[in-house]
Amino acid sequence: MSKSSGLSGSTCNMIEGQEQSLNPEIRIAELEARVRVLEEKNKDLEKRNAELERLSYRDSLTGLYNRRFFDESLDKMIVGGNESPVLDERRAGIDNREVGVIVVDADQFKHINDTYGHAAGDEVLKSVSRALDTLNKREATDIVARTGGDEFVILLPGMSEEMAAERARNLWSIIREFKVRAGEDLIPITISLGVGSLKLAGVKDALYAEEIRLKGSDLPPDEINAKLEEKKKEIFAEFLDQVDEAMYAVKKEKGSDQIARVSEIQNKEMPTDEAA
């Protein structure tokens, strides 16, 4: 009797479960619960992907932007003419057809690395990055990146070379407050800076002329676009080389701890913006 009752109870439970699964209201509630779980998982995945994307644009040692972010930012200014959302008063009335650039080189970096070790060298790079960050917070610098080794670049949308040179003098002053301790030694940090500006209209004209030339050669559209990208990178590289060369020319002539402007080197003049 008890065995028969047990079977009867099990059968009743099965029937009740089937009835509940067929109940539309219960079914809808289950589906809504699953949708909420999936939505939460998607949100979590989006956050993780966003964090990975952010990290892909950052230098692991200094936390500054990396070369990839710098190149893409410069590229967007050419393509879209987009101004950075951060705009100080001095640039508010300026037509955004020019971008200032400051190249920063940590002086004696190899000597410090070789003499005091890589840990001291890393501290020099971190100190320079902190100085750049200080300037960024103080004067709304737009994009600061470590582009490799002991070199950093500051991208200043809407700034002429003259305005970028003023920013460079401020950075030159800030870095003098930083020193690195290596054992019992306290190492002063100095930097050399190159300053220039890129005329965006000139870049667009050069790219347009190149596009017309390529279209006349009957190349397929994909190949034309690829060659235009190469041309754009070539223009950027030539410009940055000019800023680098200005810095090293003055460094060779005057020594470290100097500020050099592209226009002065191109005019074959050697006066430097020494921030006294």
CATH code for position 219: 3.30.70.270
- CA dist., res. 151 & res. 105, Å (int): 5
Range of the domain at 19: 2-56
Helices (H), the chain: 2-22, 24-56, 67-80, 109-116, 118-139, 161-175, 200-215, 221-254, 262-266
Tell me, what's the pLDDT at 273?
A: 54
Query: Is the residue at 248 inside a domain?
Result: yes
85 phi, psi to nearest 5 deg: -65, -20
Query: In this structure, what token pair is assigned to residue 150?
Result: 């002991």
26 and 79 share one domain: no
Active-site entry in 105, 142, 150, 273: 150
Please tell me which residue, 179 or 14, carries the higher pLDDT value. 179
- CA dist., res. 61 & res. 44, Å (int): 27
**pLDDT per residue over 87-120, tens digit each?**
444 444 445 678 899 999 999 899 999 999 999 9
244 and 190 share one domain: yes
Number of domains the chain contains: 2
- Residue 154 corresponds to which amino acid? I
- CA dist., res. 51 & res. 81, Å (int): 27
Q: Based on the residue annotation, tell me whether 218 is a catalytic residue of this protein.
A: no
37 and 126 share one domain: no
74 and 15 share one domain: no
Cβ atoms < 10 Å from Cβ of 134: 17
**pLDDT per residue over 40-54, tens digit each?**
877 766 666 665 555
Q: Hey, is 273 helix, strand or coil?
A: coil
Residue 146 confidence class, pLDDT cut points 50, 70, 90: very high
* Whether the model pTM is above 0.85: no
Query: Is the residue at 272 inside a domain?
Result: no
Query: Is the residue at 62 inside a domain?
Result: no
173 and 249 share one domain: yes
Q: Hey, is 187 helix, strand or coil?
A: strand
- CA dist., res. 172 & res. 165, Å (int): 10
Q: Which of 15, 35, 56 is the last residue of a domain?
A: 56
44 and 85 share one domain: no
51 and 74 share one domain: no
- CA dist., res. 58 & res. 51, Å (int): 11
8 and 131 share one domain: no
Lowest mean pLDDT among 3-17, 101-115, 117-131, 198-212: 3-17
Lowest mean pLDDT among 127-131, 133-137, 246-250: 133-137
Residue whose pair of structure tokens reads 């099990």 in the numeric block: 10
71 and 107 share one domain: yes
Ranges 52-61, 128-137, 217-226, most confident: 217-226
Q: What percent of the chain has pLDDT over 90?
A: 28
15 and 78 share one domain: no
9 and 127 share one domain: no
Tell me, what's the pLDDT at 30?
A: 82
125 and 219 share one domain: yes
**pLDDT per residue over 228-240, tens digit each?**
989 988 998 899 9
Q: Report in angstroms the alpha-carbon separations of 123 from 108, 112, 127, 147, 267.
A: 13, 10, 6, 17, 37
Pair 49, 43: CB distance under 8 Å: no
